[in-house]
Amino acid sequence: MKKLKKQRSVVPVYLIAVVWFIGGFFFRVHRPLGFAVLVAISAAVFLIARQIWRDRTIVVTKPDPEPEQKAQPKAEPEPARAKTEPVDPEIAALRQDRDRAVGEMRRLNDSIEDPTLSRQIDHIEATTGKIFAYVMAHPDQKNQIRRFLNYYLPTTLKLLNAYDRLDEAGISGVNIDGAKGRISEVMAAIVSAFDRQLDALYQGEVMDINAEIKVLQSLLTGDGLADDQMGSH
């Protein structure tokens, strides 16, 4: 079964963002006149861009529903079969990577007794789950976490495993205490890096939101529906 779906181009939105970025160097947007001029230019660019990059209608193919079969009273009913949907290999691989990493973090957290390090592991475990959840919902963003997957995450697990082995030695010494101390010190930077990786995934979405807000402000201003305070933001 085929179904038509309208796909909206994001090019006009990005052009608005570019206009505001460049216009900030030439117009005093903090003043009403500069803001109004830049709003008018943005509206014109948006309308022209929408004419050039029009919405596309794509055809989505869905499997036809299976015809219902009439019940046969004399025949024994067959047991219900669970219907499984095909799984995207990339999504399945990401799910496996997530489960493996989160499981290892939990094991290490149970083994490591240091309370500060334990809280940091809890934090990066939660952040890691959110990063994977976002990319599994937006597979086109997988390239943004390539280094996170291939280096930052496995290196973090490697350091935590090293700390766990050193801690199991049960003795205090220059080498053991020094290595454990350096791992503890770098964990704060790792926590911050994981948070920044998650925040970076939302960059494109935030740009779209800001551009939509600016277009909305320009249309409200042009139609005389904006209050005086809108131009001051």
Q: Tokens 């930077």 — which residue?
A: 189
Please report how the helices 153-168 and 174-201 are oriented relative to each other, as an axis angle in degrees rounded to 10. 150
Mean residue pLDDT across the chain = 82
Q: Please, are residues 22 and 73 in contact by the beta-carbon 8 Å criterion? A: no
Interatomic CA distance for residues 189 and 183, integer angstroms: 10
Is the sign of the CA dihedral 217, 218, 219, 224 positive or negative? positive
The C-alpha torsion from 90 through 91 and 92 to 93, rounded to 10°, is 50
Interatomic CA distance for residues 99 and 18, integer angstroms: 40
Q: What is the pLDDT of residue 77?
A: 56
Interatomic CA distance for residues 155 and 151, integer angstroms: 6
Q: Please, are residues 45 and 14 in contact by the beta-carbon 8 Å criterion? A: no
What mean pLDDT do residues 42-61 have? 72
> Percent of the chain, pLDDT > 70?
74
Global pTM reads 0.57
Q: Kindly tell me if the per-residue pLDDT of 49 is higher than 90.
A: no
Distance in Å from the first CA to the final CA of the chain: 49
Q: What is the pLDDT of residue 42?
A: 77
Interatomic CA distance for residues 157 and 187, integer angstroms: 11
Beta strands in 41-152 (DSSP E): 56-61
Q: Please, are residues 25 and 40 in contact by the beta-carbon 8 Å criterion? A: no
Q: Tokens 């009913």 — which residue?
A: 77
What confidence tens digit (pLDDT) does each residue in 92-126 have? 999 999 999 999 999 999 999 999 999 999 999 99
What mean pLDDT do residues 177-206 have? 94
